[in-house]
Structure 1
Amino acid sequence: MKKQELRDLVVAQARNPNRQALYLACSSSGMRSGEALHIKKKDLDLSLDRITIRINAEYTKTKAGRTTFVSKECGEKIMTYLHRLDDDDYVFTNSTGDFKTRGRAEQMALASALERLGFNEKYSSNGFYKITSHSFRAYFFTLATRKHDENYAHKMTGHGGYLMQYDRMDDKKKLEMYLELEPDLVVFDQTKNEIKIKKLQRENESIEQLRDEIQKLREVQAQYDKNIIQNLKNEGVIIE
């Protein structure tokens, strides 16, 4: 799936922010749509710069739980309605019923959007749309592989046995890797520009901090030199 197609699909769901967030979440985190449809408000962690999602093992294909992040633009969409949800409410769907019912509702909504947008090309062998719910996850996998490597992409999308060192990273380091990837994932140019501006601000802050540290080192060195000269004077080595 191309970025423009993803953008159009998100825009087409303007009346359903939960579904917009679903598309942005799967394409920016690598979650399976089935995993995303199980996510409840209590599974979100808002303490970091990006929303962290805890995916419970019982809802994953590999039966191994994991954490992942969603992009800034996805987080902003979630925050427009999160305050209305209780802890046990689903985040990415407002459909009622069991999991199969929710899944069918999303499949029908996606098919309808594909037809309206003209993205209705199908495989001749089976009649399936070429863009499916899996396409959002594949979008993430492709870009994650390009930015980091295939092991990272496999791990983030929930494939077992990959990049074990990633599991040993703390959340801060994991977020650093994600933020390096995020500019490639975002769908809307405004968000991408905001991320670039934020990055430049952080870099400028780092430069200012470095300048302050250099100035402090110079002051320490100057005081050290002054003390040496004074000691030499006291010992009569230097006569004024």
Structure 2
Amino acid sequence: MMEKTIDTFIAMYPKLNTKKSYRAAIYDFLDHIYGRVRAGERISGDEPAKYEELSVKYFSEERDYLNDLIGFIGNMSGKPPTSIKLKLAGVKEWLSFNGVELSQKELKTLRHRTPKAKGAWTVENEFDIPVLRKILAHADEKAAALILTLASSGMRIGEALNIKLKDMDLSKEPPELIVRGEYTKGGETRVVFISKEAKAAVEEWLKVRDDYIRASLNRNKGLIEKAAAGQKTGTDERVFPFSVAVVREFWSRALLKAGLHEKDNSTGRLQYRIHGLRKFFRSQLALSCPVDIVEALMGHEGYLTDAYRRYTRKQMGEYYLKAEHHVTVTGTGDIREIQDRLQNTQAALRGYKDIITEQTQEIAELKQRYEEQAKKIGETEKIQERIKELEEKLREVGDRYNKFMEDPIFYKVLFEGIRVVFIEFAKAFGLKTDFKDLDLKIDADEIIKKIRKKKLSG
């Protein structure tokens, strides 16, 4: 027959979070009944054995289980209703495991005594890009890698802390992480994606991860004794080989340094909770990605099967890439604003391109006309040059002729010969002249002037 200890009861549950929650609930219940056993906030040393002894004692006594539970509820007054319900559920399961079955009437009484949650118990502040940037400014490698992974993947903290190195593929686009069913809330395995900046942060973290593990092996012995941290080994295959307690510590420290360590007046709980990164992921990614894909990536039951039936992993990755800028935190400037400005710039460039094309065509036409004109001008210049050459030759011939005519001997003989001919010509036509003033010289400049005048008028 199986021994009904607290440990055997807890061993029935496969999920780590359930184990932790139910164990804490039983210890709190026994503290309420018999007085506080723990010396500190967490269990240490032989305290688990003491609780086992109290468990045996409790079921060996004649107890009014309903009144014990009602008193336990009253003892938790002021705590969030969800926390009270969770602890009550754990204790009821433990009672049932030990053969204590409450009647329907008793269960109804407990329901009436359990505080009702009216909206969110703790008023949480919502994350936006500027707030996350402030927090990341005070985060080391491990903190930055985890925060950006959570913000861009939608994973729960417990899921992210259980991702193995072998279940991460940073070479794909987008980078993929396999979330195993053994540590998911719904028990189903799924694939999630992370952003490029989260990938870069994880790569930086992996450079120092082994050093972190080695430094942690013998560093926190006091915390291990108090069960504030688990024993680290050099064979830890998790991407993030640390506990939720470590996460709470660096998260709180980053909030303090960023001036964002704000607590709810009613519950005293932080208003910027790291769990809120899931809400950030959901609201941001849904701006450009189908809601069923977003819900499936977050691991919400009812969406996983439907999403994987409707979309291939490749299609889901493509949708993620289109919406990735919405979950990008540390990029230079606001990505959406940059994209809008880029679209405007591209539109302007298209306009400039049209203008340049038109001007290029006009320039080509003008160039063609210019070349035609230049060709004509070239021909005209050649003609002008030829005219100048002919004019020079005319002047040269005229000068030579005039010089020749100025020779007294030649001129006298030639003139007398011409004069005789002209006199005979004059006689034939009855002209009265002796041609004494006859000038046989050539005025080349006058001839050129007449030619140019005729050309211009013609």
Normalised TM-score (structure 2): 0.38
User: In the alignment, what sits opposite 1:109?
Assistant: 250
Q: What are the ranges of 5 or more consecutive residues in structure 2 without an aligned counterpart?
A: 1-126, 211-233, 344-458
How far did residue 87 of structure 1 move? 8.7
Gap change, CA 1:39 and 1:87, over 3 Å in 2: farther
Deviations 1:25-82 (A, max 9, x none): 0000100111111112111023421210000101111111110000000111212343
Deviations 1:160-193 (A, max 9, x none): 0026442133222111010011011101233976
User: In the alignment, what sits opposite 2:198?
Assistant: 74
Q: Report the secondary structure of 1:53's partner residue.
A: strand
How far did residue 2 of structure 1 move? 1.5
Gap change, CA 1:163 and 1:111, over 3 Å in 2: same
Q: What is the distance in 1 between the residues matched to 2:289 and 2:163? A: 27
User: In the alignment, what sits opposite 2:323?
Assistant: 181
User: 1:9 aligned to 2:135?
Assistant: yes
Which residue identity lines up with residue 116 of structure 1 in the other structure? K
Moved more, 155-164 or 18-27: 155-164
Selected match of 1:19 from 143, 156, 159:
143
User: 1:56 aligned to 2:180?
Assistant: yes
8 Å Cα contact 2:170/2:199 also seen in 1: no
Gap change, CA 1:88 and 1:121, over 3 Å in 2: closer
* Rg comparison, structure with higher value: 2
User: 1:91 aligned to 2:236?
Assistant: no
Selected match of 2:259 from 85, 94, 118:
118
Which residue identity lines up with residue 128 of structure 2 in the other structure? K
Q: What is the distance in 2 between the residues matched to 1:148 and 1:50? A: 14
Supply the RMSD in Å over aligned alpha carbons.
2.6
User: 1:155 aligned to 2:287?
Assistant: no
How far did residue 19 of structure 1 move? 1.7
How far did residue 10 of structure 1 move? 1.7
8 Å Cα contact 1:40/1:87 also seen in 2: no
Q: What is the distance in 2 between the residues matched to 1:125 and 1:117? A: 23
8 Å Cα contact 2:136/2:254 also seen in 1: no
Selected match of 2:164 from 29, 40, 58:
40
Correspondences of 1:215-230 after superposition (within 5 Å):
none
Q: What is the distance in 2 between the residues matched to 1:57 and 1:163? A: 12
Q: Report the secondary structure of 1:146's partner residue.
A: coil
Provide the identity percentage: 31
How far did residue 148 of structure 1 move? 2.8
Gap change, CA 1:152 and 1:172, over 3 Å in 2: closer
